[in-house]
Amino acid sequence: HVKIGVCLKYWMMNLSKKTIREFTLFVLTSGFAALVNILSRIFFSTFTAYEWAVFLAYIVGMLTAYFLSRQFVFESSGQSVKREMTGFIFINIIAVIQVWGVSVALYKWFFPLLGWTFEPALLAHICGVVSPIFTSYFGHKYISFRKCSEWVIEFICKWALAQYIGYWQQLVWIF
């Protein structure tokens, strides 16, 4: 616990005002997108299974987050919307795995183990949606909205997507 606190304190002391402002705006816009995500999940849950509702709601929240981040958080990258969206989707593929895993693990296993009965689906989903805040911020800052040559972003996204597809192919083969 002490080492984590020291690292966070060092990191916070060395942040520029621009980065603090940017992260604060990211948290605010992400919070709004998370609210859209959660309300969408409640709506989708009326006609589909919880697991699918979490996934569909994540897509709605992701699109909301992209347009808010592009408009209010990050400076123009100079890249096309298609390139930014490619990076954004890549980061969100990682985040949706994290959100889904945390949400479902809490809802299906951890909360029943604790005997938690007050709104377990809602609480599990809120915890899941909040879980990737730092990974998403840095991913979007340095990949989605990064100012660099288009080929670098394209290479990183294609390589990462190939790794992701390869992982799922291996997983399907195992089962």
In one letter, which amino acid is 97? I
In one letter, which amino acid is 115? G
Residue 143: predicted pLDDT: 86
Q: Taking the chain (175 residues) in consecutive chunks of 10 residues, what is each chunk's mean pLDDT?
A: 55 71 92 92 93 90 92 85 87 88 93 93 90 87 76 62 57 43
Question: pLDDT tens-digit profile of 60-81?
Answer: 998 999 999 999 998 878 888 8
Residue 149: predicted pLDDT: 57
Contact 99, 33 (CB under 8 A): no
